[in-house]
Amino acid sequence: MSKNALVIIAVVGVIAIAGIWLLKGSSKTTPTPSYQASPTSQESASPSAQVSQNLVRITSSGFEPQTITVKAGESVIWVNENTVSHQVNSVVHPTHQVYPPLNTVGMLPAGESKSLVFADKGTYKYHDHLNPSLTGSVVVE
C-alpha cells in the first residue's frame, strides 16, 4: 500500500474517532471548538470520497490544488509530500492574523499531515511561512 493511501487511511481514522467523541460529548453543556488541527498516524479505517476530495498535497512547487472548495463542517487535510518541512499559516505574512485557526495546522515535517475543520462559509487564504511565495486558499460553501 502506498504512503499516500496510508496517510488517507490514518486521516479517516482520526476523523472517525473525533466524530464519535464529539457525538458522545454533544449532550454536555461545555462548548467544543469549531476548529482543531490534528496530526495523523499510520493506522486503521478505509478512505472516503470526501477525504480524497479535501486533500491538499504540499510539494516543492507549492500547494496542490492551490484552491480547494469544501462544504461547511468538512475538513481539509494537508499532506507534506516534499522532502523538507512546510508551515501552513493564515495570511498575512508574517503576522498570520486573518484566520488564526489555520495557524493550528502549522509545521508539517516531510511525510506528515494535519487536518482542519472549516465550520463557517467564507474564503480562507494561507501560505507556507517558511516559503511565503507558496500560497493557497480554502473556499467554504
Domains and their CATH numbers in the chain: 3-140 (2.60.40.420)
- The three-state DSSP-derived secondary structure of 124-137 is EEEEECCEEEEEEE
Spell out, as residue ranges, where the chain has pLDDT lower than 50.
Answer: 21-23, 25-51
Q: What is the pLDDT of residue 11?
A: 57
Q: What is the pLDDT of residue 105?
A: 96
Rounded to two decimals, the pTM is 0.65
Give, as one character, the DSSP assignment of residue 120. S
| Cβ neighbours around 73 below 10 Å, total | 11
Helix H or strand E segment including 22: helix 3-25
* Beta carbons of 127 and 63 less than 8 angstroms apart: no
CA nearest to 126, candidates 53, 76, 81 = 76
Residue 83 sits at φ, ψ, to 5 deg, of -95, -5
* Beta carbons of 136 and 62 less than 8 angstroms apart: yes
Report the C-alpha gap between 104 and 84 in whole angstroms: 19
Helices (H), 79-128: none
* Beta carbons of 72 and 140 less than 8 angstroms apart: yes
Please say whether the dihedral angle defined by the alpha carbons of residues 18, 33, 117 and 79, taken in this order, is positive or negative.
negative
Tell me the residue type at 105.
V
